[in-house]
Structure 1
Amino acid sequence: MLKRVPLWLTVLWLAGCNSLSTQLSTLLMILVAATFLLAAIGAVVTMVTNNSERRVASALIAFVALIAGVFFVVMLVA
């Protein structure tokens, strides 16, 4: 029967990391890279979310300004 081996250990073994110190340092580099990638994805999501909220706020302000402008034009004409 085959024993189950963790995926991260298999990846490190396939990468040629045979000693424990090489495996640990490679695992640390993978974790740091994943942390940076997650931080970058979080920054992009935050940027898109804030931009979207600003777009909605800008559209709302433009809509209110349009209604106010039409109201003042109607008041001037009448």
Structure 2
Amino acid sequence: MEGDIAQMGQFIGAGLASVGMGGAAVGVGNVAGNYLSGALRNPSAAASQTATLFIGIAFAEALGIFSFLVALLLMFAV
């Protein structure tokens, strides 16, 4: 019975850590949407902002990967 409660805590913690993956998806959508909005307003400046777009997407995805790793550590840590 005691091991079941500990395992339940691991799964609940992993589920809560997985919320960060959804946050990363929202962040990538926000970065891409704002880039597209700015590119449509000023198409001549869009080419110079492409590097900033990729940096923003990389940071948002890195946070999602970190939350995935935390979820895996919580599930499979002994």
TM (norm. structure 1) is 0.48
Higher helix share: 2
Q: Which has the larger radius of gyration?
A: 1
TM (norm. structure 2) is 0.48
Instruction: Report 1 or 2 for greater relative contact order, CA contacts < 8 Å, sequence distance ≥ 6.
Output: 2
